[in-house]
């Protein structure tokens, strides 16, 4: 149903003897869309899942600085961890390897049960030459690394653990270090260094390898461990904990004051009003003494190569073992609008220059794009946690996010980033609403509903921006000024507790309001809920064909059925299926291949919903009638 009613007042007032303040919750993402593009991931992995025939020589060093989500194949043989710049809190330098309960495609190892514990991610080095003829046990060989539990995500609980194994010259692996998860790891603690001597001749071999592994409790499928700054070398000691490195500990901030992205036409309507006066970044000095350094940046417009900012350097000094916030004066230059709906990208290259020649240089430069596209965003595109409403059984829950337009525009739909849930939440439904005002906020007496579209279901396959596009049947013309866009979760069955991606790196107001009783409340949760209004030109809805050129149709036959149904779908390999009743209760789960029959004889007569997931891709739910 669609409603166009600028003057319709939606009044929902119920008197309850308790406050709704506590109904906001923060949960796990249980999903990583950066690793779910199967075609990309398979091509990447096919090239890189090999063990080198020539071992690496000492020293071995890895600080996970780069722009790939997978580990560098020149140093690693497996690709289950997530290399990123957002999950760790104040890392040694920018970039960590995150261990969680999500596989190399970014989905839970167990998508149906949330009570299991299992070995999850592993990170195995390429062979390293510790031939005793070259490196002897008496050469004081040490292995060191830094770890952090939780970071910007969730702490590992009892039953979780992070483990380190060394390969012996006989081919097996021996555990040499481990740490169990527990509540005692809270609050978030800084990265801690571990020093391990390698003196046993059992490990001295020309093809030595080491392996990190985590054990994860599936009910906390992204209870995270982060590993950084791995070093293996001779002539070290237990006291060799100093790190001779000065580097970026975080990505610089965005050009815009509040939004992280917006259409270029909206920006050009008031560049001075939207542009931040400074960029901000954090530098980590891992030296024991103060270090002088210089820093700066330059910028170009990728659309036409125009120089927006030439190199301008600043001088600074940072004391030993500390973090320093630095700022760069932003530029006022722009380019003419290349087209009303054209995507515009400004490429900014930030750098620091240390005076020390021993300093690692890989983490001294950050390249970050400022993207002006067809959406409004407060988030940076990465979710570290999930946001959800803990609803009352018979009441709907509403979320509304405040946005501002500097000139009139056309809203085509919403892009939403969902946190995956275990079991799947594909049977949960929601509506998308757009308001010109919400009651009690900014002086508005009542809700002013402009548009609603009903009965969407959550989807997790990433499109261009790692979001799922939900497109309106009829475009909505919006005037300049404030508007609110968000969702309603109906008071039906198990439609509550729908997870939305939460960018916890967001600093400042999150612009979110929620309603679970009779009133709207400003959110008390820090971070940006990842919903983006789609503006301007025609936008295609996200579909399975975005990531798979084959048909996205799941065919169930016979339908109605008595004892068996056959699932036919495009795609290779095993898929997981879930059969639920209309209240959302899961009754049957398992794995299947296309054309295989599933026994439903024990189901009672009625209508059911079949959900299928193949390699991280959710097929649209289909209904089946049991006779």
Q: Which residue has the higher pLDDT, 106 or 257?
A: 257
Q: Read off the tokens for 240.
A: 């060799």
Triad 614, 81, 261: Cα angle to 5°:
80
Of 189-198, 350-359, 429-438, 490-499, least confident by mean pLDDT is 490-499
Residue 139 pLDDT class (50, 70, 90 cuts)? very high
Report the candidate in 398, 407, 410 with the shortest Cα–Cα distance to residue 447: 398
Residue 18 pLDDT class (50, 70, 90 cuts)? very low
**By the 8 A CB rule, do 82 and 100 touch?**
yes
pLDDT at 23 over 70: yes
Residue 560 pLDDT class (50, 70, 90 cuts)? confident
What pLDDT score does 321 carry? 87
- Give start-end residues of each CATH 2.60.120.260 domain in the chain: 33-240
pLDDT at 8 over 50: no
- Listing DSSP states for 145-176 in one string gives EEEEESTTSB---BTBEEEEEEE-TTS-EEEE
pLDDT at 208 over 80: yes
**What is the rounded average pLDDT of the residues 471-475?**
91
What pLDDT score does 1 carry? 38
Of 424-428, 520-524, 545-549, least confident by mean pLDDT is 545-549
Alpha carbon of 97 to those of 56, 84, 100, 151: distances in Å? 20, 7, 10, 12
pLDDT at 522 over 80: yes
**What is the rounded average pLDDT of the residues 444-450?**
96
- CA torsion sign for 598, 425, 86, 192 is negative
CA distance 292 to 301: 31
CA distance 177 to 179: 7
Q: Which CATH architecture has domain 247-372?
A: Sandwich (2.60)
Residue 104 pLDDT class (50, 70, 90 cuts)? confident
**By the 8 A CB rule, do 397 and 512 touch?**
no
- Name the residue with tokens 């917006």: 262
pLDDT at 48 over 90: no
- Name the residue with tokens 């004081």: 140
Q: Which residue has the higher pLDDT, 184 or 622?
A: 622
Residues facing residue 226 across a β-bridge: 98, 148
CATH number for region 547-626: 2.60.40.3080
**By the 8 A CB rule, do 45 and 486 touch?**
no
φ and ψ of 464, to 5 deg = -55, -40
Residue 456 pLDDT class (50, 70, 90 cuts)? confident
Q: Read off the tokens for 150.
A: 């939780």
Over residues 577-588, the pLDDT tens digits come to 888 776 567 788
**What is the rounded average pLDDT of the residues 612-617?**
68
pTM: 0.73
**What is the rounded average pLDDT of the residues 291-300?**
92
Residue 206 pLDDT class (50, 70, 90 cuts)? very high
pLDDT at 600 over 60: yes
Q: Read off the tokens for 8.
A: 């319709």
Of 18-27, 79-88, 165-174, 389-398, least confident by mean pLDDT is 18-27
CA distance 230 to 79: 17
pLDDT at 46 over 90: no
CA distance 261 to 281: 18
pLDDT at 359 over 80: no
**By the 8 A CB rule, do 622 and 609 touch?**
yes
CA distance 196 to 144: 6
**What is the rounded average pLDDT of the residues 252-278?**
93
pLDDT at 372 over 50: yes
**What is the rounded average pLDDT of the residues 188-202?**
93
pLDDT at 530 over 70: yes
Q: Read off the tokens for 169.
A: 């010259």
**By the 8 A CB rule, do 250 and 85 touch?**
yes
Most confident among 27-31, 523-527, 552-556 (mean pLDDT)? 523-527
**By the 8 A CB rule, do 476 and 410 touch?**
yes
Mean pLDDT of the chain: 82
What pLDDT score does 385 carry? 85
Residues facing residue 43 across a β-bridge: none
pLDDT at 311 over 50: yes
**By the 8 A CB rule, do 130 and 203 touch?**
yes
**What is the rounded average pLDDT of the residues 487-496?**
72
CATH number for region 33-240: 2.60.120.260
pLDDT at 169 over 90: yes
Is the bond into 558 cis (omega within 30 degrees of 0)? yes
Q: Read off the tokens for 201.
A: 């001749």
Residue 20 pLDDT class (50, 70, 90 cuts)? very low
CA distance 401 to 441: 12
pLDDT at 238 over 50: yes
CA distance 487 to 485: 7
Residue 191 pLDDT class (50, 70, 90 cuts)? very high
What pLDDT score does 591 carry? 86
126 in helix, strand or coil? coil
Cα-to-chain-centroid distance, residue 372:
21
Cβ burial of 205 (10 Å; 0-12, 13-18, 19+) is buried
Residue 117 pLDDT class (50, 70, 90 cuts)? confident
9-27+383-542 is a CATH 2.60.40 domain: no
- Give start-end residues of each CATH 2.60.40.3080 domain in the chain: 547-626
DSSP code at position 369: E
**By the 8 A CB rule, do 101 and 220 touch?**
yes
**What is the rounded average pLDDT of the residues 307-327?**
90
Alpha carbon of 252 to those of 300, 350, 532, 533, 534: distances in Å? 16, 8, 22, 25, 26
pLDDT at 471 over 70: yes
Report the candidate in 378, 175, 159, 360 with the shortest Cα–Cα distance to residue 259: 378
pLDDT at 399 over 70: yes
Of 104-118, 159-173, 196-210, least confident by mean pLDDT is 104-118
Exposure letters 143-178 (e unless 16+ CB within 10 A, then b): bbbbbbbbbbbbbbbebbbbbbbbbbbeeebeebee
Residue 478: partners with Cβ closer than 8 Å, 6 or more residues away = 405, 408, 409, 410, 411, 434, 450
Within 13 Å and on the Cβ side, how many CA atoms surround 566? 6
Cβ burial of 66 (10 Å; 0-12, 13-18, 19+) is middle
CA distance 155 to 158: 10
- Name the residue with tokens 């049947």: 473
């Amino acid at each position: 149903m669609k409603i166009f009613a600028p003057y319709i007042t939606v009044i929902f007032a119920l008197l309850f003897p308790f406050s709704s303040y506590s109904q906001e919750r923060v949960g796990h993402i249980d999903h990583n869309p950066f690793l779910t593009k199967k075609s990309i991931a398979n091509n990447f992995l096919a090239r890189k899942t090999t063990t080198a025939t020539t071992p690496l020589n000492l020293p071995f060093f890895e600080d996970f600085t780069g722009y790939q989500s997978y580990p560098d194949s020149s140093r690693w043989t497996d690709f289950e961890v997530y290399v990123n710049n957002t999950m760790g809190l104040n890392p040694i330098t920018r970039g960590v390897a995150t261990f969680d309960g999500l596989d190399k495609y970014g989905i839970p190892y167990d998508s149906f049960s949330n009570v299991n514990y299992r070995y999850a991610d592993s990170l195995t080095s390429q062979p390293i030459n510790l031939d005793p003829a070259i490196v002897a046990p008496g050469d004081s060989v040490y292995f060191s690394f830094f770890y952090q539990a939780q970071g910007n995500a969730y702490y590992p609980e009892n039953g979780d653990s992070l483990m380190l194994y060394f390969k012996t010259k006989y081919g097996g692996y021996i555990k040499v270090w481990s740490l169990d998860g527990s509540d005692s790891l809270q609050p978030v603690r800084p990265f801690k260094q571990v020093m391990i001597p390698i003196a046993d001749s059992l490990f001295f071999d020309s093809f030595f390898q080491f392996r990190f592994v985590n054990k994860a409790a599936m009910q906390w499928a992204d209870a995270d461990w982060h590993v950084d700054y791995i070093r293996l070398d001779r002539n070290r000691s237990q006291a060799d904990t100093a790190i001779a490195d000065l580097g970026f500990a975080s990505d610089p901030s965005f050009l815009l004051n509040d939004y992280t992205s917006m259409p270029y036409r909206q920006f050009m309507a008031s560049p001075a009003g939207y542009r931040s006066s400074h960029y901000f970044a954090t530098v980590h000095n891992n030296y024991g003494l103060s270090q002088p350094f210089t820093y700066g940046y330059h910028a170009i417009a990728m659309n036409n190569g125009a120089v927006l900012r030439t190199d301008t350097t600043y001088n600074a000094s940072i004391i030993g073992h500390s973090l320093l916030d630095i700022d760069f004066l932003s530029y006022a230059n722009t380019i003419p609008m290349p087209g009303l709906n054209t995507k515009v990208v400004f490429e900014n290259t930030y750098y620091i220059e240390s005076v020390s020649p021993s300093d690692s240089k890989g983490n001294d430069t950050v390249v970050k794009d400022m993207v002006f596209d067809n959406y409004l965003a407060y988030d940076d595109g990465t979710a570290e946690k999930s946001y959800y409403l803990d609803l009352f059984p018979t009441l709907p829950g509403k979320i509304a996010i405040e946005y501002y337009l500097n000139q009139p525009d056309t809203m085509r739909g919403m892009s939403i980033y969902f946190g995956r849930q275990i079991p799947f939440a594909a049977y949960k439904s929601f509506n998308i609403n757009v308001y010109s005002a919400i009651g009690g906020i900014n002086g508005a007496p009542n809700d002013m509903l402009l548009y609603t579209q009903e009965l969407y279901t959550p989807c997790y396959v990433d499109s261009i921006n790692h979001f799922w596009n939900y497109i309106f049947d009829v475009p909505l013309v919006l005037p300049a000024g404030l508007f609110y866009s968000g969702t309603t979760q109906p008071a039906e069955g198990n439609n509550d507790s729908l997870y939305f991606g939460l960018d916890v790196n967001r600093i400042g107001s999150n612009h979110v309001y929620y309603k679970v009783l009779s009133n709207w409340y400003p959110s008390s949760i820090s971070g940006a809920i990842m919903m983006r209004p789609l503006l301007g030109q025609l936008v295609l809805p996200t579909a399975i064909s975005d990531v798979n050129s084959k048909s996205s149709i799941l065919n169930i036959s016979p339908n109605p059925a008595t004892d068996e149904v056959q699932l036919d779908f495009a795609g290779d390999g095993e898929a997981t299926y879930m059969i639920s009743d209309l209240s959302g209760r899961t009754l049957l789960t398992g794995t299947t291949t296309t054309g295989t029959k599933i026994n439903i004889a024990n189901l009672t007569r009625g209508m059911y919903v079949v959900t299928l997931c193949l390699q991280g891709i959710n097929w649209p739910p289909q209904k089946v009638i049991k006779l």
